[in-house]
Amino acid sequence: MVKKAILIVGHGSRYGYNKAIMELQKSRLEEMGFENVYIGFNETSSPKITEAMSAMAADGVDEVVAIPFFIASGLHMTRDIPPKLGLKDGKKEDCVEIDGHRMKVLFEEPFGRDPLLATLLKEKIDDEMKTGNAAVIVVGHGSRLPYNKEIITLNSARLRDMGYGAVFPAFNEFDEPDLKEVFDGCLAAGYDEILVLPLFISLGDHLKNDIPPKIRLKDGVPEGICEYGGRKVRVVYLPPVGEDPRLTDLFAAKARRHLRGGHMDALVLDMTHGGHLVAERLKDRGWNATCVDVYHLSTPEARSRLADRGIEVSYETPKRHFDAVFMPAHCPDSFIGEAAVDQKYTFSEAVKMLMEDGLPYRIEVTGVKGKTSTCYLVAHILDACGKKVFLHTSRGQGPYAGGHEVTELKSIAPPYIMELPTEGYDVVISEVSLGGSGKADIALITNLVEDYGIAKNSRKASYAKAQILTDKGRNIVKEDEYGIWHSMRPDLPLETYRNVCEAVEKPVLGKPLRIRYEYLGKTEEAVLGGSFLAIQYLLSIDAALKACELMGIPADKVRDALGTFRGVPGRGEVSESGGVWRITERNPGISHLSIDMTMRCLKEMDALDGCLAVVDPVSRRVCDKMHPELIRSVLEKYGVDHVITDGNGGEVDTSGHKIVVTFVKEAWQ
């Protein structure tokens, strides 16, 4: 029988706090039923890591998962500890020989990036926050290396996504912003209470002696009242995270993933947005999967297909333990119900875990507006350059060769990325609603014109869309939104694009439009056709050209391709018959914002006189409904006649109008 063990790896300290917390976590794991739990320290404290490894070898351990009691990576994690575990050449997992005994060693990652840490921090804040006018300062040690700052910034952003409006990262030393400056800024900003949350393992010099004076507290006092500008501000100094019992659950989850006999149990929520695909691939990886149709919209065929694979299908969340839950970013945590779960993953994180590497060149595009247009522009330019292109958007998917041949209607939810072609194409371009694989060669976020609420307003759209950002390739974001995305993923380099594409002449409905743009550092011109609202595509052109720049597409090829581009079918499509101009907008992103953009374009063309707007509120397989009252206010602002239909497909009398604009909220999401 294989003997398995857990080794908790700590830093070590001349104080007793670090060792005491390590021993506390060890005893908690043992109370949870884990056997053969050891501790080892990198320096100062005993037993050393090498001593713990020798003890395990003497005890006949065959497999060990080494769990670092570290918040962030650094030289200890990358340089010092692996050799003491017997690991060489940068390996995280290997069979090693210790004192003549062979054992398999797996070195886990620090826990700072684990989503469960942010949940733990949220619970600590909820336990202490007394007012609605509070600031939270997440404090890191600081380092000359980037790792600690990345983790502090990441968890601060996650807490903001969870609904805390005022969360600020700060550092004790080395990094900026400095804790004292951030604290004084919070005082000046008028908050009634300030919660200081140190992301440290245990007490020590910094927590006992350095930090309290910076937050105007005396050593050993966890709470106090600070007077500032005639106001009394409550200051709460929370304990370090190391002794928190909820951290034991995080360690237990890591251990179960590697040491437990049998299969891992996965709870997959929402079959409407690709949960069945996640469940099937988890099953292929050896997981036991339970798929819950939370919206009760699945077909009998889909349920039978899963059942035939040995995947449990349910309409309600089972009341039992699961090693992990996989769910769309827009699903609220309430969907988990009374199930107990160790780990939470969004569908984007699941795709990153489950999708194979070595695929064709991938471009993924998300954002609030302009996703489909950007995808079509890039596809058209690459096709004109002789690339074999596959295009997947909210209009459908299929090859793009001189135009888009839609062969199949598929959702643009993240799991469907896993079903895109793996061969036969030079480039695969996919529009993604919320998130992405995190593995694209180019990940592009068009814009964040509205950071709307998702998951019953428990988090923001930016939280989900940021998951498209790739650590495998290049990331593109809008220049004036750089700070938003950098704060969420400070560990990733971001390229930016600016909105500089402009019309050289006044646009006229139905006429070609000469535009000016920047490409590869030079000013270029092209002529767009008149069969679509070209003026409405200028923002998307800027985003698409940045992607083409990163791919090294020659400027002349780009110019020629723009001249033959005819827009996205049904998106700002322009036609004329019998003296009446008709403009069609069929789009899952139809909203008061997009309608305002179209009306603004028509106003620029002097094309509002005699205009009728017909709005169809039908929402076929589209999650967010339109808001008629907001749409009416936009159309009234522009002074155009308008009809909002009942969605039953009846004819609308358009007589007496020279221009008819039809908006239909329709596509496959």
Q: Catalytic residue numbers? A: 11
By residue count, the chain amounts to 669
H, E, C per residue of 104-118: EEEECCCHHHCHHHH
Q: Check if the beta carbon of residue 251 is closer than 8 Å to that of residue 8.
A: yes
Main-chain dihedrals φ then ψ at residue 259, nearest 5 degrees = -110, -20
Q: Where do the DSSP E strands lie in 264-409?
A: 265-269, 288-292, 312-314, 321-327, 340-346, 361-366, 389-393, 396-400
Residues in a beta bridge with 140: 171
Taking 3-state DSSP, the helix, strand and coil percentages for the chain, each rounded to the nearest 5, stand at: 35, 30, 40
Backbone phi and psi for residue 540, each to the nearest 5 degrees, phi listed first: -70, -35
Q: Which two tokens stand for residue 546?
A: 């940045």
- Name residue 61's amino acid: V
Closest CA to 53 of 77, 85, 91: 85
3-state secondary structure of 56: helix
Q: E strands along 360-480, which residues?
A: 361-366, 389-393, 396-400, 427-431, 442-445, 453-454, 459-460, 474-478
Residue 406: HSE in the Cβ half-sphere, 13 Å Cα cutoff: 11
| Beta pairing class for 288-292 and 265-269 | parallel
In DSSP notation, 568-617 reads: BTTEEEEEEETTEEEEEEE-TT-SHHHHHHHHHHHHHTT--TTEEEEEEE
Strand order in the sheet with 659-666: 571-577, 580-586, 659-666, 611-620, 641-644
Cβ of 213: how many Cβ atoms within 10 Å? 11
Secondary structure (3-state) at 91: coil
Helix, strand, or coil (residue 32):
coil
**Residue partners of 646: CB distance under 8 A and separation at least 6:** none
| Interstrand relation of 288-292 and 474-478 (parallel, antiparallel or unpaired) | unpaired
SS3 (DSSP) at 550 = helix
CA distances 556 to 401, 517, 519, 524, 526, Å, are 19, 13, 10, 9, 10
CB atoms within 10 A of CB 578: 4
